[in-house]
């Protein structure tokens, strides 16, 4: 079985699907590895790093796509990249299939099988394959550093001969993987951290990291799936906004992390709330690629609105490309070795992890959620 790793083509993307260490592990497991020249450059892995562990360096993407039995990527491939794959090959990458119907159709047309890293079930035995968590962890850390860099003040309380500096107040909206890592990072830097989440079960996790939980009365309209909020009523969002208005107005830094899979991100920070924030305060909107938790956010831009700096970076893991690639590579190694051996894929179609992540198989849509549409 020949594994192919093309260079990522998405704008602002510096990650690569596998590291030299994982390349060595897969070759030891009996796979061949073909990687496009300079594919690892953005993550500080040289072609020599890969060739020294037994990988073959390909001159261009076509040489990878046209010969590999398995294509490993970070981002969803472009339609022309899918068309380059040989019939019967298998793609493993983030696909976001529910909202990327053109890609699914392209996989069907090309006669390939495809697994989506974002669709791996969030169960205990799949934790080592959970790329959403590994990348969100790094993103949560980076948001705090971006916010700290944009602020005109320090995070911790500092007592000096010239006077005492009060600690920063940070409000984090969403206590998922990214939000909890942001809490931990901000606390280590000495800030006062308050956290809002519509899932009451996250309160204990927030408090264990030293954060204060902003509690909103429960709502029967809230539904969750795979650890994410699937839907929430407009009435509840309004209640939440009213409760956090005061906290946001007093905050030095606000970090928003709320996403609803397959839907536009909910608005958590309104323009009116931004107007009431202190001059010089900062918002980091992690949901900017899905419309943003703040309507004033702009994709991949840092803007100043009403005296507030709003950071809208869409690819935070890529800003920590070395670690992000290393972790993603471990995720994909565990996933691949669960699915296949050097002889081929097992195709255990009723097995929970396979069934949850397999989008197309031999040119047919097989994922249950997509078949219903």
| Cα 169 to Cα 110: distance, rounded to the nearest angstrom | 52
Question: 112, 66, 69: which is closest to 87 by C-alpha?
Answer: 112
User: Out of 48, 52, 127, 231, which one is annotated catalytic?
Assistant: 127
The active-site residue, picked from 47, 66, 122, 188, is: 122
Query: Is 122 one of the catalytic residues?
Result: yes
Question: Does the annotation mark 12 as catalytic?
Answer: no
**Residue 38 annotated to the active site:** no
Rounded (10°) angle between helices 20-28 and 321-339:
20
The angle at the Cα of 175, spanning 170 to 355, to the nearest 5 degrees, equals 150
Pick the catalytic residue from 130, 197, 252, 285: 130
Long-range (24+ apart) CB contacts under 8 A made by 222-227 are: 222/198, 224/199, 225/261, 226/121, 226/122, 226/261, 227/122, 227/176
Q: Which of 113, 116, 133, 134 is catalytic?
A: 133
CA distances from 105 to 100, 108, 187 (A): 9, 5, 46
Contact 167, 212 (CB under 8 A): no
Contacts of 168 (CB under 8 A, 6+ apart): 151, 153, 154, 155, 156, 190, 191, 192, 252, 253
Q: Has 49 been annotated as catalytic?
A: no
Give me the helices (H) in 251-320, please. Answer: 271-275
DSSP codes, 202-264:
GHHHHHHTTPEEE-----TT-EEETTEEEE--HHHHHHHHHHHHHHHHH-SEEEE----TTSP
The four Cα atoms 208, 210, 212, 215 give a dihedral, to 10 degrees, of -10
Residue 127 appears among annotated catalytic residues: yes
Residue 359, token pair as written in the block: 């989008």
3-class secondary structure, 195: strand
Distances (CA, A) of 110 to 95, 150, 315: 16, 46, 29
66, 199, 219, 228: the active-site residue: 228
Q: Give the active site residues.
A: 122, 127, 130, 133, 228
């Amino acid at each position: 079985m020949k594994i192919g790793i093309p260079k990522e083509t998405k704008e602002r993307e510096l990650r690569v699907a596998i590291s030299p260490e994982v390349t060595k592990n897969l070759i030891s497991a009996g796979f061949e590895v073909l990687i496009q020249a300079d594919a690892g450059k953005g993550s500080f892995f040289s072609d020599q790093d890969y060739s020294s562990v037994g990988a073959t360096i390909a001159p261009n993407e076509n040489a990878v796509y046209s010969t590999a039995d398995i294509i490993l990527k970070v981002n969803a491939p472009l339609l022309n990249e899918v068309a380059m794959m040989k019939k019967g090959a298998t793609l493993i990458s983030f696909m976001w299939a529910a909202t990327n119907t053109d890609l699914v159709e392209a996989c069907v047309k090309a006669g390939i099988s495809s697994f989506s890293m974002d669709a791996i079930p969030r169960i205990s035995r799949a934790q080592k394959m959970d790329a959403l968590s590994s990348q969100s962890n790094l993103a949560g850390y980076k948001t705090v550093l971006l916010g700290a860099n944009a602020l005109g003040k320090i995070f911790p309380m500092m007592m000096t001969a010239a006077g005492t500096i009060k600690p920063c107040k940070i409000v984090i909206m969403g206590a998922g993987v990214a939000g909890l890592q942001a809490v931990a990072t901000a606390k280590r830097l000495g800030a006062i951290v308050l956290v809002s989440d519509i899932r009451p079960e996250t309160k204990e996790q927030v408090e264990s990291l030293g954060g204060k939980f902003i509690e909103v009365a429960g709502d029967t309209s809230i539904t969750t799936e795979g650890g994410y909020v699937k839907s929430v009523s407009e009435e509840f969002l309004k209640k939440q906004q009213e409760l956090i208005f005061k906290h946001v107005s007093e905050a030095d830094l606000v970090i928003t992390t709320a996403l609803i899979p397959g839907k536009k991100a909910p608005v958590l920070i309104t323009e009116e709330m931004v107007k009431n924030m202190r001059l010089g305060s900062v918002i980091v909107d992690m949901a900017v690629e899905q419309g943003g938790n703040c309507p004033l956010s702009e994709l991949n831009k840092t803007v100043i609105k009403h005296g507030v700096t709003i950071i809208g970076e869409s690819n935070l893991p890529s800003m920590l490309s070395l670690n992000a690639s290393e972790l993603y590579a471990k995720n994909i190694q565990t996933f691949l070795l669960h699915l296949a051996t050097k002889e081929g894929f097992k195709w255990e179609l009723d097995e929970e992890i396979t069934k949850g992540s397999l989008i197309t198989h031999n040119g047919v849509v097989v994922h249950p959620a997509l078949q219903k549409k």
